[in-house]
Structure 1
Amino acid sequence: MQQLAVPFTLCTLWFMVAWAIEKFWLTVFCAQCSSLFAFELSLQGHDLLTVSTGRVSAVLLFVVPFLAYALALIPYRRPGSGEAWSTAIQKWSRPFFWLALVAFWAWMLESAYSMFSGILPEGFKAYAQGYRLHLSGTALGLREITINGGLGGLLGLIFGLYLFLSRGLAHRE
Structure 2
Amino acid sequence: MQRLAVPFTLCAVWFMAAWAIERFWLGALCVGCAGVFGFELSLNAQELLKLTTGRVSAVVLVGVPLAAYLLVLIPYRNLASGGHWADAVRLWSRPFFWLAMVFVFAWVGEIAVSAMAGLLPDGFRAYADGYRVALSGTALGIREVAVSGRFGAFLGVLLGLYLFLSRGLARPA
TM-score normalized by the length of structure 2 = 0.98
Q: Deviations over 1:111-169 (max 9, x none)?
A: 00000011100000000101111100110001111001011101000000111111111
Root-mean-square deviation over aligned CA pairs? 0.8
1-side partners of 2:51 and 2:2: how far apart?
25
Letter paired with 1:30: C
Letter in 2 for 1:108: V
Corresponding residue for 1:83? 83
Partner Cα separation in structure 1 for residue 46 and residue 165 of structure 2:
27
1:116 corresponding residue in structure 2:
116
Amino acid of the residue matched to residue 38 of structure 1? G
Q: Aligned equivalents of 2:163 and 2:116: distance in 1?
A: 24
1:74-126 CA distance string (max 9 Å, x none): 00111111111111011001111111100000000010000001110000000
| Partner secondary structure for residue 147 of structure 1 | strand
Q: Distance in 2 between matches of 1:166 and 1:47?
A: 28
- 1:66 alignment partner in structure 2: 66
Which runs of 5 or more residues in structure 1 are unaligned?
Answer: none
Q: Secondary structure at the match of 1:118?
A: coil
Give the superposition deviation at 1:45: 1.7
Give the 4+ runs in structure 1 shifted more than 3 A: none
Which amino acid in the other structure matches residue 99 of structure 2? L
Asked if residue 50 in structure 1 is aligned to residue 54 in structure 2, the reply is no
**Superposed displacement of residue 25, structure 1:** 1.2
Per-residue deviation at 1:48?
2.2
TM-score of the pair, normalised by structure 1: 0.98
Matched, 1:138 2:134: no
The aligned residue for residue 14 of structure 1 is 14
In 2, the alpha carbon distance for the partners of 1:123 and 1:139 equals 39
How far off its partner does 1:44 sit?
1.3
Which residue of structure 1 aligns with residue 102 of structure 2?
Answer: 102
Structure 2: 5+ residue runs without aligned partners?
none
Structure 1 vs Structure 2: percent identity of aligned residues?
60
Residue number in structure 1 paired with 2:37: 37
Partners in 2 of 1:75 and 1:162 — Cα distance? 29
